[in-house]
Amino acid sequence: MNALAKPEVGQYLNEHFVAAFQKVATFKIVNGQKQGGNVASYFCTPDGRVLQAVAGPVDGATLLREARWVVETYNLADLDGKGTAGLKAYFGQAHADRLYREHGFQSMLEPRPDFTAADVAEVLDRGRGLDNPGRIDLLLSTYPLAPIGKVYRPIFERLLNEPVSTSPVLEGAAARDWNAAPATVVTPTAEDERQARLDEKVLRARDDPPQGEVQSGAALNLLLADLRRLDGEGVAPAKVGLDAAALAHIRLVADGDGEVGPSLALQDPLPWPESLLTDDFAADRARVEAALAVARQQAAKGAVARDAGKAAIDAAERMDQRITAKVQGAPGQPTWSASDAIEAASFLDDFKTAAAVFQRPDVSSYLNGAYAAKGGTVGELVRNMASKGLRFAPALPGDESAYAAVRRALASCDAKAYAAGE
């Protein structure tokens, strides 16, 4: 077909896209002519999310039509303040509309955020009566902006009936012995599958992750690890600024610390829940605060005694035991509600878990601010955290907006790093 040899096609693609190719199948060359193999074309965002795909060789007019559809659809998308989520929704609907308009097929599938290769194959099988363009519209209306790493294999193997292969191109005598040396079908290794899952998680963290993954620090830690990897490969972080006020609410822990981390035990003052601010808890609250004050004083001078947090933990244990009596209700005293009891018990459990930091040899670094989130840019923050072996701890109540802001900055830096590396 030689679609790319047509001047108008090449000119349009050069104007709007950056071209790249990857060999994923084997073929042979006999007398200068390619035999076997196949081709699929993908129009993607800079971070490798598929806007449109073309399965098989097509003529220049068809390839140009698809390229123009991608550019025009992208330009029509109203993305003001909606970012990637808005782009996904727009392209998903555009593929659904095209599927109905050009193929008379109305998909009953809602867009899905998460999927595996098996899910992609299942959707493609639903459209068996459609031609390849129709099946791709069905796929991309269900999984808009799907990562190319998750869809290229099902498209190549199910739509084009071509096995993905790492076998080399065969020429000369090797080409004549094609039947004696069949192509090797690549079976992903356990490491391939692990890396694919990790890549999917990074894209999810960069995109629009659920609030729970932001507040737990999970999304931020995935982006942190990816930026550290890219930096190590020579892709320096872009200069994306950070708000100092937001960083003041970001909690860091050393690698290897538990999921809750020491942040709660180090708050000054502690964010006591209202249910524990009554007079009958006052004495033990004071013991906890006094023990933490002593530990901070020791940290400012150097080492912190290993038993510095014992008095605080013992006082928290006594408060925890008193909660049961509050729920049951003492004679003449009002009974606590279940919500008050859950709030108080959850706080104390988190505090006791977090107070394990006092047993760490580096507890002084937590208390004296050495492990604080620092950096005027994302790159400075990432490198500072890497030098000290730190990661993000879960957010505390009131820190939600700060975590969301830092996640957006990390995501922007990560996306720019990928674009710069292309």
- The verdict on 355 and 378 lying in the same domain is no
Q: Identify the H or E element spanning 172.
A: helix 172-176
Residue 212 pLDDT = 83
Q: Is 170 within a domain?
A: yes
Tell me how many domains the chain contains: 3
Are the CB atoms for 164 and 25 separated by under 8 Å?
yes
- The verdict on 169 and 195 lying in the same domain is no
Q: Is 382 within a domain?
A: yes
What is the C-alpha to C-alpha distance for residues 173 and 28, in angstroms, rounded to an integer?
A: 10
**What number of helices (H) and strands (E) belong to the chain?**
17, 7
- 255 pLDDT more than 70: yes
Query: Would you state the structure tokens that stand for residue 416, as one six-digit string?
Result: 């720019």
- The verdict on 51 and 140 lying in the same domain is yes
Q: Is 107 within a domain?
A: yes
Q: Which of 128, 145, 180 is the last residue of a domain?
A: 180
- 48 pLDDT more than 60: yes
Q: Is 256 within a domain?
A: no
Q: Residues 6 or more apart from 166 whose CB is under 8 A from it? A: 26, 184, 186
Residue 182 pLDDT = 43
Are the CB atoms for 67 and 182 separated by under 8 Å?
no
What is the C-alpha to C-alpha distance for residues 72 and 369, in angstroms, rounded to an integer?
A: 51
Cα-Cα-Cα-Cα torsion 358, 361, 366, 368, nearest 10 degrees, comes to 110
pLDDT category of residue 303 using cuts at 50, 70 and 90? confident
Q: Is 257 within a domain?
A: no
- The verdict on 10 and 105 lying in the same domain is yes
- The verdict on 13 and 147 lying in the same domain is yes
Q: Is 25 within a domain?
A: yes
- The verdict on 21 and 110 lying in the same domain is yes
25-39, 98-112, 132-146, 286-300: range with lowest mean pLDDT? 25-39
Q: Which of 2-6, 156-160, 362-366, 384-388 has the highest mean pLDDT?
A: 384-388
Nearest to 40 by CA among 132, 145, 177, 173: 132
Q: Is 410 within a domain?
A: yes
Q: Which of 180, 196, 229 is the last residue of a domain?
A: 180
Query: Would you state the structure tokens that stand for residue 239, as one six-digit string?
Result: 């200069």
Nearest to 393 by CA among 199, 207, 224: 224
Residue 422 pLDDT = 45
Q: Which of 328, 352, 367 is the last residue of a domain?
A: 367
pLDDT category of residue 178 using cuts at 50, 70 and 90? very low
- 153 pLDDT more than 70: yes
Nearest to 409 by CA among 241, 203, 251: 241
If one compares 198 and 380, the residue with the highest pLDDT of the two is 380
Q: Largest Cα–Cα distance in the chain? A: 100
What is the C-alpha to C-alpha distance for residues 150 and 114, in angstroms, rounded to an integer?
A: 11
Structure letter (DSSP) for residue 376: S
Cis amide linkage into residue 269, ω under 30° from 0: yes
Residue 176 pLDDT = 47
The average pLDDT across 186-191 equals: 57
- The verdict on 421 and 403 lying in the same domain is yes
- The verdict on 362 and 378 lying in the same domain is no
Cα-Cα-Cα-Cα torsion 378, 384, 386, 388, nearest 10 degrees, comes to -150
- The verdict on 236 and 296 lying in the same domain is no
CB atoms within 10 A of CB 316: 24
- The verdict on 139 and 207 lying in the same domain is no
pLDDT category of residue 169 using cuts at 50, 70 and 90? very low
Query: Would you state the structure tokens that stand for residue 401, as one six-digit string?
Result: 């907006």
119-123, 141-145, 163-167, 255-259: range with lowest mean pLDDT? 255-259
- 355 pLDDT more than 80: no
Mean pLDDT of the chain: 79
Are the CB atoms for 253 and 395 separated by under 8 Å?
no
Are the CB atoms for 358 and 308 separated by under 8 Å?
yes
Q: Is 49 within a domain?
A: yes
- The verdict on 227 and 169 lying in the same domain is no
Domain containing 312: what range?
262-367
- The verdict on 12 and 144 lying in the same domain is yes
Query: Would you state the structure tokens that stand for residue 365, as one six-digit string?
Result: 């670094």
Are the CB atoms for 319 and 275 separated by under 8 Å?
no
What is the C-alpha to C-alpha distance for residues 96 and 73, in angstroms, rounded to an integer?
A: 13
